[in-house]
């Protein structure tokens, strides 16, 4: 058996290779690697004894011919490739080429194969759900996709995922990866202002890279020996670390700083980080994949203990004055163009609005932790919140999709489709629908009068609903949420109904925000 993998040099890619390399049924693994990616040499050296099993192809997903060459003769194609933050913020065109154009090329190349077509595993992202807070911290795959303004990564991943869901591939699956813990977290988060995008009260569901790799291996092992078509293929799932790994942004930073004997409050001020416009959610349906493939073996606590053991030099930070660490390790990142402090200093009005709801709201945050509401201290938005009860999934406040989400797919009827379209402020234009047909193309109309085609699964089960973000680099959710009952449930958790901002990138990917009626 031959398989193909993209993104093998990334953190998840290396974990996947580790777990699949010894699967006896796999004879050859094609690896598509960028020509300038030097990490592949280290990987090949590590797996030298498997040199006859690994077939490295140099190329780029934006090259359709290379994609055709990659997928030819394969039983499985696993797409892990992605340009992620902060690289996507720094080089948005590369994000478009990989996350959107590249996915389209892979899908098209597989669609062209009519005999013995590869099965396609596509890794998507939690970032599609956009900003969440304590009002709706739990989410499911059917939740609305409200990608955060100016997050080019989320936009391109959303478009790529839509292409997969609407494809003619016989067997595909979309796996939305949650926040991932990996060995390079320190280096990846200390070179850019991205860490300041993490809202302290954001709900984050963590999974380790190792467990993510184990998931992919277990999928292959089980699918090779049995038919998973009814329970797995042509569906969308959330990759979760499990309920024990559901924490907040503050918790996560705190766990990292504990290694050097400190806490967030020792190194940060409340106004260092954004208060909205991030992405993260606790996956209410996170057990579904684990029930199928039994991969959730590592907790957040386990990861940080192991991380501290493998990076013992960090303990030296305990003897360094915390003020010095803050100044030379944390505050130096204020100069990054991806830092909120940089936006404030340089009057980037659009991002200050998107991430803080304007300068006045930013000024209210201040630098005194005693005046800042932390969810882990049972406070949020000036009110008392029972954090322990909030983390109890049995108390979860879920999104109302305006149809019975507990129905089996074969029970979905035209009234369900019409109800969802109406809730979105639009309508179903297709007149005839065979009950339970989740795959035929249907025509829909949005609240703005735009028409689009999508199957019932993509809309009802995967949460997609067409808006300008699918076609342009703009975010008009302030307006759309006023017309859309499903959007409104999430968007107005962190936005005021009178904001009326239209966010967009210009041709040079400069951020803009205009207040419109």
Tens of pLDDT, residue by residue over 401-455, are 999 999 999 999 999 999 999 999 999 999 999 999 999 999 999 999 999 999 9
Place of tokens 């406040």: 397
Is pLDDT of 190 > 80? no
Can you tell me the mean pLDDT for 309-317? 85
More confident of the two residues 189 and 348: 348
Helix (H, G, I), strand (E, B) or coil at 176: strand
Q: How far is CA 44 from the centre of its chain?
A: 29
For residue 270, give Cα distances in angstroms to 164, 358, 513: 40, 16, 25
pLDDT of residue 486: 98
For residue 96, give Cα distances in angstroms to 104, 157, 437: 11, 9, 32
Q: Please report, for the chain, the start and end positions of each structural domain, with discontinuous segments joined by +.
A: 2-182+204-241, 409-515
pLDDT of residue 187: 73
**pTM to 2 decimal places:** 0.97
Place of tokens 């009234």: 415
pLDDT of residue 184: 85
Closest CA to 178 of 220, 119, 132: 132
What's the rounded Cα separation, in Å, for the pair 405 and 412? 9
Can you tell me the mean pLDDT for 284-307? 96
What's the rounded Cα separation, in Å, for the pair 377 and 428? 46
First-last CA distance in the chain: 58
| pLDDT interval class at 185 (50, 70, 90) | confident
pLDDT of residue 312: 86
Q: Kindly provide the b/e burial profile for residues 78-99, where b requires at least 16 CB atoms within 10 angstroms of the residue's own CB.
A: bbbbbbbbbbbbbebebbbbbb
> Which token pair is 18?
């580790």
CATH topology of domain 2-182+204-241: Rossmann fold (3.40.50)
For residue 157, give Cα distances in angstroms to 81, 227, 275, 401: 11, 29, 23, 23
Is pLDDT of 186 > 80? no
Where would I find the beta strands (DSSP E) of 285-391? Answer: 379-380, 383-384
Is pLDDT of 296 > 90? yes
pLDDT of residue 152: 98
Is pLDDT of 188 > 90? no
Can you tell me the mean pLDDT for 4-32? 97
> Which token pair is 244?
């024990």
């Amino acid at each position: 058996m031959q398989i193909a993998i993209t993104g093998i040099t990334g953190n998840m890619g290396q974990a996947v290779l580790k777990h699949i390399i010894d699967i006896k049924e796999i004879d050859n693994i094609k690896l598509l690697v960028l020509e300038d990616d030097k990490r592949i040499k280290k990987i090949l050296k590590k797996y030298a004894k498997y040199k006859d099993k690994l077939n490295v192809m140099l190329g780029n997903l934006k090259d359709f011919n290379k994609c055709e060459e990659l997928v030819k003769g394969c039983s499985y194609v696993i797409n892990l490739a992605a340009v992620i933050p902060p690289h996507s913020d720094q080089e948005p065109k590369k994000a478009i080429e990989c996350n959107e154009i590249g996915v389209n090329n892979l899908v098209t190349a597989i669609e062209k194969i009519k005999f013995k077509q590869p099965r396609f595993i596509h890794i998507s992202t939690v970032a599609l759900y956009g900003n969440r807070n304590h009002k709706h911290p739990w989410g499911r795959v059917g939740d609305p996709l409200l990608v955060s303004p100016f997050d080019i990564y989320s936009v391109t991943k959303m478009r790529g995922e839509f292409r997969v869901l609407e494809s003619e591939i016989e067997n595909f699956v979309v796996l939305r990866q949650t926040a991932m813990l990996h060995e390079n977290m320190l280096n990846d988060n200390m070179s850019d202002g991205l860490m300041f995008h993490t809202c302290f009260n954001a709900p984050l569901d963590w999974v380790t890279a190792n467990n993510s790799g184990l998931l992919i291996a277990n999928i292959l092992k089980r699918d090779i020996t049995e038919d998973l078509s009814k329970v797995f293929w042509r569906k969308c799932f959330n990759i979760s670390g499990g309920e024990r790994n559901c924490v907040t942004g503050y918790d996560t930073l705190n766990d990292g700083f504990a290694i050097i004997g400190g806490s967030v409050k020792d190194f940060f001020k409340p106004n260092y980080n954004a208060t909205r416009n991030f992405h993260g959610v606790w996956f209410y349906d996170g057990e579904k994949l684990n029930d199928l493939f039994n991969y959730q073996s590592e907790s957040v606590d386990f990861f940080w203990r192991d991380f501290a053991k493998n990076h013992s030099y960090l303990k030296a930070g305990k003897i360094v004055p915390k003020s010095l660490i803050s100044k030379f390790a944390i505050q130096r990142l204020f100069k990054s163009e991806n830092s909120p402090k940089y936006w404030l200093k340089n009057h980037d009005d659009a991002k200050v609005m998107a991430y803080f709801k304007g300068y006045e709201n930013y000024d209210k945050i201040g630098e005194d932790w005693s005046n800042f509401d932390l969810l882990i201290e049972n406070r949020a938005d000036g009110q008392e919140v029972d954090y322990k009860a909030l983390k109890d999934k049995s108390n979860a406040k879920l999104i109302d999709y305006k149809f019975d989400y507990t129905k089996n797919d074969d029970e979905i009827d035209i009234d369900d489709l019409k109800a969802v379209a109406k809730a979105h402020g639009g309508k179903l234009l297709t007149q005839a629908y065979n009950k339970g047909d989740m795959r035929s193309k249907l025509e829909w109309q949005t609240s703005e009068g735009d028409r689009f085609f999508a199957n019932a699964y993509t809309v009802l089960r995967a949460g997609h609903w067409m808006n300008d973000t699918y076609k342009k680099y703009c975010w008009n959710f302030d307006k759309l949420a006023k017309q859309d009952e499903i959007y409104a449930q999430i968007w107005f958790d962190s936005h005021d109904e009178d904001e009326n901002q239209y966010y967009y990138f210009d041709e040079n990917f400069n951020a803009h925000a205009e207040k419109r009626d």
